[in-house]
Amino acid sequence: MAQPAAAIALTLILISAALPTSVANADEEKLPRKVLTGWMPYYSVKNSMAAILANKDLMSEVSPFWYSLTSATAIKDQYASAKLTIPMKTQLDILRANGLKIIPAITDGSKKLVLAGLLAKPSTRSQVVNTITKLVLTNDYDGIDLDFEGFAFNDGTASWAKTSPNWVLFIRELSEILHANGKILSMTTPVVFDPVTKRKGSYWVYNWPETAPYIDRLRIMTYDYSMAKPGPIGPLEWTEATVAYAATLMPPSKIWVGVPGYGRDWITNVSGKCPASYATLIKTTAKAAVVPANKGVELANTYDATPIYSEKEGEITFTYQKTYNEGSASCTATRVVWYQNSRAYLARMELVAKYKLGGLTQWTLGQEDAESMPALREYAKSISPDVIIALLASDKIESSYADKSKISALFTLSDKRPAAGLPISIEARGEDEIEWKKIGEGTTSVTGVAEWDLILGRNMRLRALSPGSWERLSATSNEMAVSVKPLLEINAPTVAKTGVSFEISVRSVPNEGIFNLAEFVNGKWVQINQVTLAAPAESVLFNATSTVRGFHKYRITTAPSARLLGKVSEEFTILIR
């Protein structure tokens, strides 16, 4: 009986083959790891876009901060409301042209407890899911970043026990529809701590343990620790505590550490009597002023202050005095500033490396000091994943059915050194198929080589893959076509009578396709019969007749298809008498 046409017999052999390698080039420039993402607000598009384009080598995605959910069925376009001179499409086209994924943020633009109420009802929760999905699909965004902070800062802790399970349902339902459309779900939340520690300031309403399986990104707002009173924006220990907890709940590569592009400037003391125009502003109870990190050094220099880096907090701080005069009235305010500079960013990059996180997420892009991005780039190079190059080859590109083909895969680093010990797999698909199927796996040898003996029953395309990890990028080899010819066994008489029908049977493995019987007449082959097998059969039968006496040459051919190469049999001779 013919073997199944799609059969693939696989024997995996790992060898130390003597394939060529080359000496490492120690001076080769490494590309930085993509360690940065962040937000581009509608009110600072120009500044953020300039920073994005200058540092796109550190980024794979960005989040325009342009949308606000105002009801179950409505989203406010803040970019349009701002009436900016450059059309939104132009900005999006620039990002896409530079190879960046676009995952816009959406905030909660409703009043206290409104969104919590919408998520509590299946019908309105479904409406919210559909409204957000429509935004993503209509604009062909790569996903969405949920920045729903109302639960944490507006609704009150008494609502959390009721809101939390509904939030999980919402995340699950939104995840299902986004993932079905190949889109990314990112979740931005304030800090959450391990409940075992009973640490205060944990925004557990966002339920990291139960949402973790459904999200693709967790962006942690590790900033705004100090608001009413002077202090660090995001203390290092506080930051690590929430990161360490998150890393126990999900693959660390999903986690992004928030870094502020701003600092705060508090008034801690006021001496003298302030002028009337300053009296309500210059006081110790006043809200802290926001200072962009790129203005920190300038501010310190203006008032002859000396910025000091706190190793404990991982931030810059300085104190200065500013005098306010108007007429005869005068007062002097003592002010304290905290912000994060390049050294602070690197301290948080140490956490990225320690826990193997996705990277840093910045609010907002473009506010950082001048030294931060160059410093970040050098650090990103030091932890850059290895680039893996995969090459697939075969000892033959055509074979007969059930013949063995030897397939070799060579995995090397970009400098041609062998990549040993890589987990790899080999996949195959038919020429008429779309989906790839794994047919084997293994580990590369010390020379970076794996070898398979394959027995193919049809035309196939093959590729070898190695998954990505913290240490290396994923790799996919070239696609290689290996074609298969059927086996033909012909049973024909050696002698036949003039004018009497004779039978020629053909057994083909696999027994499928179109078969032609041809006779060599007047110096050329002429087709005299054809049989198409709609379903597998034991053999193909041809009936032929000749009225011309003498020796006649025949042959059988099969038509090529997506599944098999065409085959031409050896000639056979029948004496007609």
pLDDT tens digits, residue range 148-186?
999 999 999 999 999 999 999 999 999 999 999 999 999
**pLDDT at 427 (0 to 100):** 96
Q: What does the mean pLDDT of the chain come to? A: 93
The residues spanned by each domain of the chain are: 17-26+386-485, 36-261+341-382, 262-339, 487-576
Average pLDDT over residues 398-423: 92
- E strands, 196-237, where? 217-220
Taking CB atoms within 8 Å and a gap of at least 24, the contacts of 198-204 are 199/241, 203/151, 203/152, 204/160, 204/164
Beta-bridge mates of residue 381: none
**Which whole number is the average pLDDT over 56-62?**
98
User: Where does 487-576 sit in CATH, by number?
Assistant: 2.60.40.730
**Separation CA 227–CA 264 (nearest Å):** 8
Cβ neighbors of 187 (< 8 A, separation 6 or more) are 145, 146, 171, 206, 211, 215, 217, 218, 219
pLDDT at 264 over 70: yes
17-26+386-485: in CATH 2.60.34.30: no
What whole-number distance in Å separates Cα of residue 459 and Cα of residue 425?
19
pLDDT at 466: 95
CA–CA gap between residue 112 and residue 532 (Å, rounded): 72
Task: State how far the Cα of 450 lies from the Cα of 443, in Å rounded to an integer.
Answer: 7
pLDDT band at 415 (very low <50, low <70, confident <90, very high): confident
Residue 25 has pLDDT above 60, yes or no: no
> Beta strand pairing status for 572-576 and 550-558?
antiparallel
Residue 406, amino acid: K
Question: Residue 512: what pLDDT?
Answer: 87
Q: Look at residue 359 and tell me whether its pLDDT is greater than 90.
A: yes
486 close to 509: Cβ distance less than 8 angstroms: yes
| Average pLDDT, integer, range 462-472 | 93
Averaged pLDDT for residues 434-438: 94
Which H or E run includes 352? helix 342-355
pTM of the prediction? Answer: 0.80
Residues 179-220 have pLDDT tens digits of 999 999 999 999 999 999 999 999 999 999 999 999 999 999
Range 262-339 has CATH code 3.30.360.10 = no
Distances (CA, A) of 331 to 271, 276, 278, 281, 432: 6, 11, 9, 12, 82
Q: What's the pLDDT score for residue 29?
A: 66
Structure confidence at residue 131 as a pLDDT band (50, 70, 90): very high
Supply the pLDDT for residue 27: 39
* Model confidence pLDDT, tens digit, residues 508-566: 998 888 999 999 999 999 999 999 987 777 889 999 999 999 999 999 999 999 899 99
Taking only the tens place, the pLDDT of each residue in 133-143 is 999 999 999 99
Q: Is the pLDDT of residue 406 over 70?
A: yes
- pLDDT for the residue 533: 85
Which CATH superfamily does the domain covering 36-261+341-382 fall into?
A: Glycosidases (3.20.20.80)
Same fold flag, 36-261+341-382 and 262-339: no
Quick: pLDDT tens for 292-319.
Answer: 999 999 999 999 999 999 999 999 999 9
Band (pLDDT 50/70/90 cuts) for residue 272 is very high
* β-sheet bridge partners, residue 339: 316
Q: Is 39 helix (H, G, I), strand (E, B) or coil?
A: strand
